[in-house]
Amino acid sequence: MTGDGPVITVPDTAITLDGRTLRSLELIGGSGDSKSFTLTLNVEKRDGAWYVADLNLGV
């Protein structure tokens, strides 16, 4: 995670669901070179809860 304050950036490798990273779930069924694919989320804290403020997709 990067950033300070109310908005931070979280890479897909730092998010897990049932023991699997979001990145591994994104690439299910994918083929070819996936090294250039990136996904990060900017999350923002509002009233004590975290919300997705932006989704950054790179290929």
Q: List per-block mean pLDDT (blocks of 10 residues) for the chain, which spans 59 residues.
A: 75 95 92 89 90 91
pLDDT at 4: 61
Q: Are 40 and 12 in contact (CB under 8 A)?
A: yes
pLDDT at 3: 59
pLDDT at 48: 85
pLDDT at 23: 94
Return the CA Rg of the chain: 13
Q: 22, 18, 1: which is closest to 10 by C-alpha?
A: 1
pLDDT at 30: 87
| Alpha carbon distances (Å) from 33 to 15, 21, 37 | 22, 18, 9
Instruction: Tell me the whole-structure pTM to 2 decimals.
Output: 0.74
